[in-house]
Amino acid sequence: MSGVLLSEDDVRIPADVFDLAGFRRRVHSADFPQRGKISFLGGEVHIDMSPEEIETHNKIKMATISCLGSWIAQRELGDLLASGALLVHEPADVSTEPDLLFCSFDSLLRNLVTYREAVDGSLRFVEVYGTPDLVVEIFSRYSERKDTRDLLRRYFLAGIPEYWLIDARGESIDFQLLKRGKTRYVAVKGDAEGFRRSAPLGGKFRIARDRNRVGGYRYASRPSQECCRKPPQLLQGWP
């Protein structure tokens, strides 16, 4: 069933976007909106034109990029890509822009995931095509239903091994690290210190936050004795 879900009413929806091929053509056209997150999920077009909330979305995303980017680069694991990278998986009937996604060098070498041009020969690689190793979604005001139901199903159909869901809107952070089981994603339980093991990244991670000196959120982990001399990080990883 075709449909469109809008968070605001200032977008015109062309008739040719309700199949994946048409949506992909429209995404790369000159008249596609330059603001907002627009996803194609099994015949539905989801549109969120609202700006990112600073304290509970943008800050935690930037801190996650910094920590995971350092973790991945130091170990030469692959590529960490931020929002703006368009993920496409044809069998799962999905095209979307995750907040973060990780493509291991192993998956790239095996062509499980590739970077593709919108126009052949342009050398402008704008699509992440296939199955990345990990996707991360951070809840926003309008995204909870999409992240926990629609994308959950599509990412599983796409064979993505691991899915992180982060909700920083409440009094405490809800961090779910989901691994792919036989029929659904299964939550990985934290250890006594709150660390959860990520198989694609080869380490354990946790998320915490406190307040900075002007009263805003500062995303940091409480360092253990082994890392007490290191600066605090959002996600402290251990092999």
pLDDT at 129 > cutoff 50: yes
52 in Cβ contact with 142 (< 8 Å): no
Comparison of pLDDT for 130 and 10, the residue scoring more: 130
Determine the Cα–Cα distance for residues 108 and 74; give it in Å rounded to an integer: 18
How high is the pLDDT of residue 44?
86
Nearest CA-CA partner of 94 in 44, 144, 143, 50? 44
pLDDT band at 235 (very low <50, low <70, confident <90, very high): low
**What are the residue ranges spanned by the domains of the chain?**
3-227
Sign of the CA dihedral running 10, 5, 156, 21 = negative
Burial class (CB in 10 A: 0-12, 13-18, 19+), 143: buried
How high is the pLDDT of residue 45?
84
CA distances from 189 to 53, 86, 151, 195, 204 (A): 28, 30, 21, 8, 11
pLDDT tens string 94-126: 999 999 999 999 999 999 999 998 767 777 888
- The model carries a pTM of 0.84
pLDDT band at 38 (very low <50, low <70, confident <90, very high): confident
Give the least confident one: 10-19, 48-57, 103-112. 10-19
Topology (CATH level 3) of domain 3-227: tt1808, chain A (3.90.1570)
Average pLDDT score, the chain: 84
| Percent with pLDDT over 90 in the chain | 56
Residue 60 phi/psi, 5-degree rounding, is -70, -30
CA distances from 178 to 142, 156, 222 (A): 21, 10, 23
How high is the pLDDT of residue 232?
44
Q: Listing from the earlier edge strand, what are the strands of the sheet with 86-89? A: 3-6, 44-48, 37-41, 94-96, 86-89, 125-130, 113-117
CA distances from 165 to 28, 98, 102, 154 (A): 28, 11, 14, 14
Residue 132 neighbours by CB under 8 Å, 6+ apart: 87, 101, 102, 103, 107, 113, 160
How high is the pLDDT of residue 30?
66
Lookup: tokens for 119: 């126009």
pLDDT at 53 > cutoff 70: yes
pLDDT at 127 > cutoff 80: yes
Comparison of pLDDT for 5 and 236, the residue scoring more: 236
First to last CA, the chain: 45
Instruction: Among 1-5, 110-114, 193-197, name the most confident range.
Output: 110-114
